[in-house]
Chain A
């Protein structure tokens, strides 16, 4: 009896295995070239990372002898320790990570930009208020509960500045930390009055009747950088060739991603790497990709952060920004 069951199990497994697909199999850069240099880059698992995934698939890094492995870091809290101990070579993250690292004198440098918001037109993120909150303009956010994905970063800083600009009192806003994907549910439940969200959530919320209030980046620092490329100072000195090669490949990748002719490839990279529904991957608004850092906008951001007591002093931008 037991034998029959065992045989049956084996047969069932064999049949099941033949019906298997493998969604990992599409990765092209498998260890065919032994002389490629291994590079580990931490990046958030978000649609913006599509430029990097696409650039790798298009062979821009391999051309310069680099085999890039992208690790899905959840945020600066994991990426910066991993950078410091040499586990990863580069990280792509929002600018407050390096700001704080510089204030703690950790030897982190920003070697290039990655993505920016739009100086005009529809921006890539916005504050949206629920219909029942009755909020219609930035000044009315004062005294209300506003969600940002992480406290003490570009979101709450630019929202405070936008509210002040519109004549409201920014110190009375009650910021709460809510992950972007959870914001629509929290708005609907009435736990928050407004939320700062990127696409595709901006469109999703507006189409169900919630109110667009302001695009805080555009209102305060038009074209503000959203993601930068960082490494350690020690790496730029000890392995200048690697940093230069990587910087050159990144520059080309971001130009490639910015070219409308390659948009389909970038969107394909979203589908290959994220579990997004296809219509979303096809319609999500992409940021402006570019390698050149806008120092003035970073400086404005740091000054605003100090003004609203998110940072207690200014990072040393001369030391932090090392455009490659």
Chain B
């Protein structure tokens, strides 16, 4: 009996701490313009921002833009993940390929994908496809590099054991390599999900395909700081939701892994 109750208490305390942190943040935000540290014309009161948010949340137009952003996020993340898993597994397994691509990957990876926007627009025009190019480019590397490391991390003893038991190549892949790479993949996807969201919104701000980013840009060019921060808060909430969902998925798929088991035993 004692075990679940302490666990519940611990969960309660965690949630409470989270709420205290959030409340503290909101109070500081409200105080900054109230005390005149920043002119409220440029940093609006938190109360005004949330009032505006409530107003927007009953406007279907807002939900449609949000839907457009989430659609390009979902498509971009899926394509990037699938491509990175396939290519990363192949490259990670073949040491010749790994050495041959290492320099190119390290050259391409740090290129800010926003720099590719003119190229993307030239290829696809002012629409979602152009945004997808930069979303996929940025999130691909996150997963790709993790998968390469994950695939290379197979335990030597486990590999020898698998060999001496006469496992076929396919069996080795599904029973040894992929389970080893899964925690890496999960980390990669969680990072990529956040990157894809940032890039989806950035693309809308710069390219102008409809979405949350265009709403932010429109409010900014109208000097409407209340609207601007209302949409910025929405992007923050989206990021939070995405992170929570992926942590949940991670916990469910990796229940057997020590990183998760360790957390629960503590």
- A residues near B (Cβ < 8 Å) are 16, 19-25, 42, 45-46, 71-74, 77-79, 81-82, 84-88, 179-181, 184-185, 188, 200-201, 274-277, 280
Contact = CB atoms under 8 A, between A and B. Distances in A.
B61 A88 contact: no
Contacts of A16: 57-58
Interface in B49-64: 57-61, 64
Contact of B207 (A25, A78, A180, A277): A78
Contacts of B221: 45-46, 179-181, 274
A85 B58 CA distance: 38
B222 A276 contact: yes
B227 interface: yes
Given A23-B59, A74-B208, A74-B217, 12 more contacts: A24-B60, A82-B122, A82-B126, A85-B122, A86-B125, A87-B125, A180-B221, A184-B223, A185-B39, A188-B39, A275-B219, A276-B224
Contact of A78 (B58, B64, B121): B121
A24 B61 contact: yes
Interface in B122-169: 122-127
Contacts of A185: 39, 41-42
B27 interface: no
Nearest to A273: B218
A302 B219 CA distance: 33
Contacts of A45: 208, 217-218, 221
B227 A275 contact: yes
B54 to A, nearest CB: 11
Interface string B216-233: 011111111001000000
A78 B208 contact: yes
Given A20-B59, A85-B125, A74 B219 contact: no
Contacts of A188: 39
B118 interface: yes
Nearest to A18: B58
A181 B223 contact: yes
Sort chain B's interface into a size bin: 20 to 34
Main secondary structure of the interface of B (DSSP, over half): helix
B214 interface: yes
Contact of A20 (B58, B117, B123, B205): B58
Contacts of B117: 77-78
Contact of A88 (B119, B126, B222): B126
17 contacts: A16-B57, A19-B58, A21-B58, A22-B60, A22-B61, A24-B61, A42-B208, A71-B208, A72-B218, A74-B205, A77-B117, A78-B121, A78-B207, A81-B119, A85-B124, A188-B39, A280-B222
A74 to B, nearest CB: 5
Contacts of B214: 72
A276 B223 CA distance: 8
Contact of B218 (A85, A200, A274): A274
B59 to A, nearest CB: 5
B26 interface: no
B206 interface: yes
Given A71-B208, A82-B125, A181-B220, A23 B58 contact: no
B126 A73 contact: yes
B39 to A, nearest CB: 7
Contacts of B118: 77-78, 81
Choose among A19, A45, A79, A84 the residue with the greatest number of B CB atoms under 10 Å from its CB. Answer: A45
Contact of A74 (B42, B127, B206): B206
A201 to B, nearest CB: 8
B61 A23 contact: yes
Contact of B222 (A84, A85, A275): A275
Contacts of B124: 85, 87
B208 A277 contact: no
A194 B13 CA distance: 53
Given A87-B125, A275-B219, A73 B208 contact: yes
A87 B58 contact: no
Contacts of B121: 78, 81-82, 87
